[in-house]
């Protein structure tokens, strides 16, 4: 079996194992999950080991026919089980391995309905991996939408007091996003065809293969999405219109500001490990979708709308920052900081420069590590006191010194202190914004405000919660024990990782640069 | 032709079996009869046939449609368990007999060549369903539902018959292929006005049967009032047969007039999607929600019909199958739960997952399929239907459908929220082994078809 | 310039016109001398009693339904009878036609008779369903006591 299939089916096998083991083995479920996540990370590392850094195209490609439908006079459509990995998806696959492992450790505190929880968790792992590895648009969509189900139940069953509301809100928002993607998918495959199979089969074979969809020559003449045909939808050129629809679909996932309101609710109600996974990996699928699908298929539209997208990114950065400043709930503050940080990803992608795109992928990895850490930190406090209000604590440094140190590290890393990964990501995306030929400079200038805001809300929170004399509500002081070894196991590697990535950013850039250079050739033609 | 003859004979046999002392023989006998008919249905496989002086027509597609109807009838009958719960007033033999007779009507509606046969089929099916709706004699709701359905249905059939007469006046023929030929000889603006009036009236009658808005007002009351098992029966069989009939009419004889009826049908599609989905949100009863959801699914099926592309037929076919399977399992779970709780409301499902994980899982798969979540048959069905609209180029219809399906998630998930997230005191429900087997088969089929839709589609 | 339907329309219009004309002519010509006897409802010579809006016994409908069924069967028998005995058809098919037609009609009548038998067995044809009520209580008074009393009074008269 190919390595990439292994990455998808290993967690599925784990989920089945957890599901069918007898109830007497309940205490081993978390160990099984941990084991599978560890092997998953190992497998991802093996992929990295054998990955050819200088090759910009897809590697480890694996293709099997899956569904073939005849469309009568219109030819046929073929849906393949098609996997592959390149410099854009590899960092995210590695990130997924790390974050899912941390999430598995963080899941130790789950005590109710363990069988359901751990099988859903492994199912989620499989579908996230599938999303990053799929090269067939249809397959990608299946994983993308199927991912919502385990997430929905994880939030809805193990979440906080308003979990039902948060779960259905999360589901409805992201589902709306995925149906928008579905529309574009349908329009795409009606227009595009597979040049090789069509030659062999003597009829038009429509395809979902992203490699063919990305090539403008593979579109039927005079079809809806052929670049030369002037089809219009609602007064807009069809390609531009459908790019916007696709963008909206992924923007909900990222999230970009007008579509972000599901995120704070979902985060606040979700249990700690689910928050970690949600912020650490799930949001990245939005950014990955921009690059892999929206930009890859509609380069002309992406260049056309670069300014608009850049402004949306800037608005996300600034608006998220101001909102984070205003929050009294620690978890909500971090959720809004996620909105702000993911805005940098959009800014970098929209800039269409090597710095911007490399920086965007880097920022996704960096934010994945940092937000996982931030949510673990919040979870530590919440586990002890069941209270996440910032004003409920003061002077936590005294009873919890190790906790304070690690919190400070991840706060500083998040606000972009040089030496940590957050700095590199923000720096490169902003550089991209400044150098871009596709958008005006003031967008990047305004976005720098986001860094200032990040410093403000992180430092202010640090000051309010950890410094000064110890003060909490009555009866809580005795609960404030320092980090347990399990929590250290989660936080220390993440802290090390953000430091390593910050000091040696080429670990990521080496992977991404070849692919992105090739990718950007599409845009230099116009 | 064979299934029609067999079903008629079997219906009479079942009626007389009812005189025997042991009522236990009825259910296995009916299931056996349905199985025999299902096999006999495919005798003419790969042949196009014309029977009864060109009154009946059939090919592989119509046989698969009949197969879907027979299969869902098989599943629903399997879930009746001899109507043991209905007390001494029940007449199991008559119910089974009427169900078999109604299938005769359904198959006629699927494979008619002559409009007269369509009318006869619609009448046979409708009259049977009127009786089944009112079969709970002591229940006022059931009586009300039957009377309502009967009165409105009688009007609809009257209008349909008038439409047929007008079409006959315009073309001089009742035969689908002849009508198509006669229409084909003239341009669309040279057609007789009678044809258009007749077509509209014919459509109204058929759309009433599949409960498309604005002819849907009977649906919630009738679905709610009828005994649950018969609600399952009519929501699957009438819908499949009705859409097969509509497709046959529009594709077989009126395809050249698409420009004319497109606007009408598109308007009705949008109305149906909105009316079904928006009203379903406000329901508190699961059964009533399923009634509105059946309206909304009629809307999705209408999309394929309105677009009428080369693959509309396979889309309708697959969608009907997916819808029938999920509906059967949803009603199957509802029957068990409502027996325990004496209520059809969402609250009745509270805490279902705790003691009855199997039922909760069946319910979840069926709701996900109805909502159109990937890896279920419902998703593939929706995908095919949406593709039809895209092929026709009606993006705005697609947008409405997609908004509607997003609304759909909300109400389909309400019952899942109740089953999984809410606390309840639902005890363990005993499921008869056979009942369980049926639910397992239906659920498995839903998932398998979601993974490999070409299993069915390559038949056509 | 009118189609076949135009002729039907004309027919309807003429029919309405003629009937209207006759009714109006009647109204003008007839003597009008009402009395109480003339103004009562016509009930075949009987005096009308009570409200006309009375409930019928539901069994009328069952019988009427069965009646309609066989009426339709008869209607169907007439056209069948005209083709059943056609000599040229019988000659063409070497005599098989007659048997075939007879068989078909037997199946048709047979199904209807099955229906009748079904209704019969179910008891839908009984006008008043016999439901004899047997008293099931036991008398404490011995029967001969009654007999004694009866004898006593019968002889005493």
pLDDT tens digits, residue range C131-155?
666 777 777 788 888 888 888 888 6
CA dihedral (C150, C153, C154, C157) in degrees, to 10, reads: -170
Bridging pattern class, strands A205-207 and A232-233: unpaired
Average pLDDT for B17-24: 79
Q: Which helix (H) or strand (E) holds A7?
A: helix A3-20
Residue A521 main-chain phi, psi, to 5 deg: -60, -30
Task: With a cut of 50, say whether residue A514 has pLDDT above it.
Answer: yes
**Chains B, C: CB contacts under 8 A, how many?**
10
Distances (CA, A) of B281 to A14, A169, B296: 37, 15, 12
Distances (CA, A) of A34 to A20, A38, A448, A490, B219: 17, 6, 40, 12, 51
What pLDDT does residue A526 have? 47
Task: With a cut of 90, say whether residue B447 has pLDDT above it.
Answer: yes
For A117-138, how does the pLDDT look when each residue is reduced to its tens digit (9 = 90+)?
A: 999 999 999 999 999 999 999 9
Task: Tell me, rounded to whole angstroms, the distance of Cα A35 from its chain centroid.
Answer: 23
Confidence of residue B454 (pLDDT cuts 50, 70, 90): confident
Domain count across chain C = 1
Whether residue B310 and residue A176 make contact (CB cut-off 8 A), yes or no, is no
Whether residue B15 and residue C5 make contact (CB cut-off 8 A), yes or no, is no
Average pLDDT, chain B: 89
Task: With a cut of 80, say whether residue A234 has pLDDT above it.
Answer: no
**Which of A133, A135, A85, A87 is closest to A354 using CA atoms?**
A87
What pLDDT does residue B398 have? 86
CB of A4 within 8 A of CB of A84?
yes
Average pLDDT for B364-370: 94
The residue among C113, C118, C120 with the most chain B CBs within 10 A of its CB, best to mutate, is: C118
Chain B contact set for C3 (CB, 8 A): 169
What pLDDT does residue C132 have? 66
Q: Report the alpha-carbon distance of residue B246 to residue B237 in Å, rounded.
A: 14
Whether residue A141 and residue B374 make contact (CB cut-off 8 A), yes or no, is yes
DSSP state for residue A233 in the 8-state scheme: E
Q: Is B423 on the interface with A (CB under 8 A)?
A: no
Task: With a cut of 90, say whether residue B34 has pLDDT above it.
Answer: yes
Confidence of residue A254 (pLDDT cuts 50, 70, 90): confident
Pick the range with the lowest mean pLDDT from A85-94, A270-279, A463-472, B237-246: A463-472
Residues 6+ away with beta carbon under 8 Å from B277: B292, B296, B299, B404, B405, B407, B408, B411
Average pLDDT, chain A: 88
The CA distance from B277 to the nearest CA of chain A, in Å, is 15
Domain count across chain B = 1
**Which of A243, A176, A241 is closest to A213 using CA atoms?**
A243
Chain C contact set for B16 (CB, 8 A): 114, 118
Alpha helices, H only, B185-311: 193-209, 218-225, 228-253, 258-281, 286-307
Residues 6+ away with beta carbon under 8 Å from A120: A15, A150, A153, A154
Residue B82 gets the label, from left (phi > 0), alpha (psi -120 to 50) or beta, of left
The CA distance from B31 to the nearest CA of chain C, in Å, is 22
Neighbours of chain C (3+ CB pairs under 8 A): B
Residues 6+ away with beta carbon under 8 Å from A466: A393, A395, A396, A397, A404, A407, A408
Residue found under tokens 């795109």: A357
Q: Tell me whether residue C104 is in a domain.
A: yes
For B402-431, how does the pLDDT look when each residue is reduced to its tens digit (9 = 90+)?
A: 889 888 888 998 898 888 888 887 888 888
**Which of B18, B17, B30, B7 is closest to B124 using CA atoms?**
B7
Q: What percent of chain A has pLDDT over 90?
A: 41
Distances (CA, A) of A72 to A14, A75, A79, A155, A204: 42, 6, 16, 44, 11
The CA distance from B379 to the nearest CA of chain A, in Å, is 10
Average pLDDT for A9-30: 87
CB of B45 within 8 A of CB of B60?
yes
CB of A157 within 8 A of CB of B420?
yes
Q: Is B395 on the interface with A (CB under 8 A)?
A: yes
Quote the longest CA-to-CA distance of chain A. Answer: 80
State the CATH number of the domain containing residue C29. Answer: 1.20.58
Contact exists between B and C (3 or more beta carbon pairs < 8 Å): yes
Task: With a cut of 70, say whether residue B188 has pLDDT above it.
Answer: no
Task: With a cut of 80, say whether residue A180 has pLDDT above it.
Answer: yes
Q: Report the alpha-carbon distance of residue A128 to residue B71 in Å, rounded.
A: 37
Task: With a cut of 90, say whether residue B35 has pLDDT above it.
Answer: yes
Q: Which residue of B has its CA nearest to C3?
A: B169
Pick the range with the lowest mean pLDDT from A231-235, A404-408, A470-474, B232-236: A231-235
What pLDDT does residue B453 have? 87
Neighbours of chain B (3+ CB pairs under 8 A): A, C
Nearest-CB residue to B169 (from C5, C114, C121): C5
Whether residue B16 and residue C111 make contact (CB cut-off 8 A), yes or no, is no
For C1-52, how does the pLDDT look when each residue is reduced to its tens digit (9 = 90+)?
A: 567 778 889 999 999 999 999 999 999 999 888 888 788 877 777 777 777 7
Average pLDDT for A105-112: 86
The CA distance from C121 to the nearest CA of chain B, in Å, is 9
Whether residue C118 and residue B15 make contact (CB cut-off 8 A), yes or no, is yes
Q: Is B406 on the interface with A (CB under 8 A)?
A: yes
What pLDDT does residue A207 have? 85
What pLDDT does residue B145 have? 92
Q: Tell me whether residue C82 is in a domain.
A: yes
How much is the pTM?
Answer: 0.86
Give the CA radius of gyration of chain B. 21
Nearest-CB residue to C111 (from B12, B19, B169): B12
């Amino acid at each position: 079996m190919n390595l990439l299939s292994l990455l998808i089916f290993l967690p599925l096998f784990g989920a089945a194992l957890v599901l069918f083991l007898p109830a007497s083995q309940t205490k081993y479920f978390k160990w099984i999950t941990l084991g599978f996540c560890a092997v998953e990370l190992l497998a991802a590392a093996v992929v990295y080991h054998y990955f050819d850094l200088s090759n910009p195209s897809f590697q480890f490609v694996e293709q099997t026919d899956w569904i073939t439908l005849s469309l009568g006079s219109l030819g046929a459509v073929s849906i393949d089980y098609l996997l592959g990995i390149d410099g854009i998806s590899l960092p995210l696959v590695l990130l997924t391995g790390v974050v899912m492992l941390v999430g598995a450790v963080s899941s130790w505190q789950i005590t109710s309905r363990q069988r359901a929880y751990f099988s859903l968790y492994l199912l989620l792992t499989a579908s996230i991996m599938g999303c990053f590895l799929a090269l067939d648009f249809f397959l990608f969509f299946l994983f993308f939408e199927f991912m919502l189900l385990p997430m929905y139940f994880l939030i809805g069953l193990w979440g906080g007091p308003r979990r039902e509301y948060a779960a259905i809100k999360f589901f409805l928002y992201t589902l709306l996003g995925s149906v928008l993607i579905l529309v574009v998918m349908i329009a795409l495959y009606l227009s595009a065809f597979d040049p090789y199979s069509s030659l062999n089969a003597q009829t038009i074979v429509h395809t979902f293969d992203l490699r063919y969809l990305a090539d403008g020559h593979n579109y039927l003449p005079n079809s809806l999405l052929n670049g030369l045909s002037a089809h219009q939808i609602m007064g807009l050129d069809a390609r531009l219109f459908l790019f916007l629809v696709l963008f909206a679909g992924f923007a909900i996932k990222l999230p970009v500001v007008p579509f972000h309101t599901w995120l704070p609710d979902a985060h606040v109600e979700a249990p700690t490990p689910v928050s970690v996974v949600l912020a650490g990996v799930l949001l990245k699928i939005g950014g990955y979708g921009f690059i892999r699908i929206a930009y890859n298929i509609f380069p002309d539209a992406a260049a056309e709308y670069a300014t608009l997208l850049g402004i949306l990114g800037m608005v996300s950065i600034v608006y998220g920052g101001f909102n984070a400043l205003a929050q009294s709930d620690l978890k909500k503050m971090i959720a809004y900081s996620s909105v702000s940080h993911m805005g940098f990803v959009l800014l970098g992608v929209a800039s269409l420069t090597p710095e911007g795109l490399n920086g965007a992928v880097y920022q996704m990895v960096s934010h994945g590590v940092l937000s996982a850490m931030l949510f673990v930190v919040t979870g530590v406090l919440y586990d002890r006191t069941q209270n996440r209000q910032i004003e409920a604590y003061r002077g936590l440094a005294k009873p919890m010194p190790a906790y304070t140190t690690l919190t400070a590290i991840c706060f500083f890393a998040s606000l972009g202190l040089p030496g940590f990964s957050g700095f590199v990501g923000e720096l490169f995306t902003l550089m991209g914004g400044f150098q871009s030929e596709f958008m005006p400079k003031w967008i990047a200038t305004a976005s720098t405000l986001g860094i200032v805001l990040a410093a403000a809300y992180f430092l202010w929170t640090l000051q309010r919660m950890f410094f000064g004399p110890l003060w909490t509500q009555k009866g809580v002081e005795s609960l404030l024990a320092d980090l347990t070894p399990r929590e250290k196991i989660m936080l220390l590697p993440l802290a090390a990782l953000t430091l390593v990535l910050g000091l040696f950013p080429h670990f990521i850039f080496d992977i991404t640069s070849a692919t992105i250079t090739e990718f950007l050739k599409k845009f230099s033609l116009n | 032709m064979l299934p029609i003859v067999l079903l008629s004979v079997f219906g009479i046999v079942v009626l007389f079996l009812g005189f025997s002392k042991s009522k236990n023989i009825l259910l296995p006998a009916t299931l056996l009869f349905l199985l025999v008919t299902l096999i006999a249905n495919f005798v003419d496989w790969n042949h196009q046939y014309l029977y009864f002086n060109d009154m009946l027509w059939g090919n592989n597609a119509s046989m698969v449609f009949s197969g879907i109807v027979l299969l869902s009838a098989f599943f629903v009958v399997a879930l009746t368990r001899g109507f043991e719960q209905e007390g001494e007033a029940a007449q199991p033999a008559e119910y089974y007999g009427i169900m078999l007779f109604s299938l005769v009507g359904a198959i006629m509606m699927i494979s008619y060549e002559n409009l007269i046969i369509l009318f006869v089929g619609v009448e046979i099916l409708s009259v049977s369903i009127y009786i089944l709706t009112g079969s709970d004699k002591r229940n006022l709701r059931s009586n009300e539902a039957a009377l309502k359905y009967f009165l409105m249905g009688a009007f609809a059939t009257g209008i349909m018959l008038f439409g047929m007469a007008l079409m006959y006046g315009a073309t001089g023929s009742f035969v689908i292929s002849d009508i198509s030929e006669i229409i084909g000889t003239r341009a669309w603006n040279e057609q007789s006005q009678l044809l258009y009036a007749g077509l509209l009236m014919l459509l109204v009658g058929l759309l009433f049967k599949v409960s498309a808005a604005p002819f849907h007002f009977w649906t919630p009351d009738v679905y709610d009032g009828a005994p649950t098992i018969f609600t399952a029966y009519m929501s699957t069989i009438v819908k499949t047969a009705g859409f097969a009939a509509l497709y046959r009419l529009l594709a077989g004889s009126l395809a050249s007039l698409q420009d004319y009826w497109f606007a009408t049908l598109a308007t009705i599609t949008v109305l149906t999607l909105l009316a079904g989905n928006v009203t379903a949100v406000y329901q508190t009863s699961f059964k009533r929600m399923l009634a509105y959801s059946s309206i909304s699914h009629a809307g999705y099926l209408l999309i394929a019909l309105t677009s009428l592309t080369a693959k509309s037929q396979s889309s309708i076919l697959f969608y009907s199958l997916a819808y029938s399977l999920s509906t059967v399992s949803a009603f199957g779970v509802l029957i068990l739960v409502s027996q325990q709780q004496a209520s059809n409301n969402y609250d009745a499902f509270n805490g279902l997952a705790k003691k009855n994980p199997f039922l909760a899982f069946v319910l979840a798969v069926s709701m996900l399929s109805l909502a159109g979540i990937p890896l279920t048959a419902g998703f593939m069905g929706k995908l095919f239907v949406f593709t039809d609209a895209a092929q026709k180029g009606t993006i705005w219809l697609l947008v409405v459908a997609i908004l509607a399906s997003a609304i759909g998630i909300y109400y389909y998930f309400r019952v899942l929220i109740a089953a999984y997230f809410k606390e309840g005191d639902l005890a363990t429900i005993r499921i008869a082994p056979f009942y369980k087997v049926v639910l397992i088969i239906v659920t498995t089929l839903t998932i398998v078809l979601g993974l490999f839709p070409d299993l069915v589609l390559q038949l056509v | 310039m009118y189609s076949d339907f135009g002729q039907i329309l004309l027919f309807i219009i003429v029919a309405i016109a003629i009937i209207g004309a006759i009714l109006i002519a009647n109204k003008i010509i007839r003597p009008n001398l009402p009395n109480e006897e003339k103004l009562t409802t016509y009930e075949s010579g009987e005096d009308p009693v009570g409200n006309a809006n009375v409930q019928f016994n539901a069994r009328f409908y069952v019988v009427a339904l069965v009646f309609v069924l066989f009426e339709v069967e008869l209607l169907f028998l007439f056209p069948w009878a005209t083709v059943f005995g056609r000599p040229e058809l019988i000659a063409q098919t070497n005599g098989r036609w007659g048997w075939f037609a007879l068989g078909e009609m037997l199946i048709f009548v047979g199904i209807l008779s099955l229906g009748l038998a079904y209704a019969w067995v179910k008891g839908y044809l009984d006008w008043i369903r016999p439901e004899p009520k047997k008293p099931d209580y036991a008398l404490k008074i011995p029967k001969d006591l009654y007999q004694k009393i009866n004898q006593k009074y019968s002889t005493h008269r």
